[in-house]
Amino acid sequence: MTFGVHVPDGEQPVRGFARGCDEGRRIDLPNWSMLVKVTADDTLGRLTVLEGRMGAREPGPLPHVHEGHDETFVLVEGRLRFRVGDGFHTAVAGETVFASRRLAHGLGNPFDEPARYVAVLTPSGYEDYFAEVAEHVARTGAMPSRALTQELMAHHRTVLAPPLPDPGAVLPR
């Protein structure tokens, strides 16, 4: 459903909409999916909102640093382990984690239950990185190599962060 108002020619459009629980641009990765609920096209590139579902024991993306956007994560269900800067935090449902541009961060689900979160990216664009990874997976059946990951990230002003041991990591059984 779209809401709108008349805007005189030459002025920035004003719009609003509601998307259903299963509506949006779907991005599927092994053991991890995203549904882009508010796209760059919707907001003239200002922000993206996506709902992510990360399966149990999913390591998530390698820690990285974005040059061009900030990320906010609101955990809806389950738990996720975040690296933010030089620290680590296990987030639970209801918690919010923010990582500004130029700050090393990452997330994963080392736990036995799946997790669901909402992410807000400001400004938009990084969802295209995940779509490129998903296209690679669909084409090859495997996640990109570290070298290809670095290449794809570079197209989106992102670099891998130096590794940092997580003192609270959940060890495999």
Domain limits for position 55 = 21-158
Residue 3: pLDDT band by 50, 70, 90 thresholds?
low
In a domain, 106, yes or no: yes
Residue 173: pLDDT band by 50, 70, 90 thresholds?
very low
pLDDT tens for 78-115 read: 999 999 999 999 999 999 999 999 999 999 999 999 99
Q: For the whole model, what pTM was predicted? A: 0.89
In a domain, 10, yes or no: no
Residue 87, phi then psi, degrees to nearest 5: -120, 170
Contact 47, 38 (CB under 8 A): yes
Helix, strand, coil % in the chain, rounded to nearest 5: 15, 40, 45
SS3 of residue 132 by DSSP: helix
Return the pLDDT at 116: 98
Return the pLDDT at 1: 61
In a domain, 140, yes or no: yes
Provide the token pair at 75. Answer: 């955990």
Closest CA to 87 of 158, 170, 160, 165: 165
In a domain, 39, yes or no: yes
Number of domains in the chain: 1
Mean of the per-residue pLDDT values of the chain: 92
SS3 of residue 15 by DSSP: strand
Name the DSSP class of 144: P
Q: In angstroms, what CA-CA distances link 162 with 50, 62, 69?
A: 27, 10, 19
Range 120-126 average pLDDT? 95
In a domain, 2, yes or no: no
pLDDT tens for 128-148 read: 999 999 999 999 999 999 999
- CATH number assigned to the domain comprising residue 89: 2.60.120.10
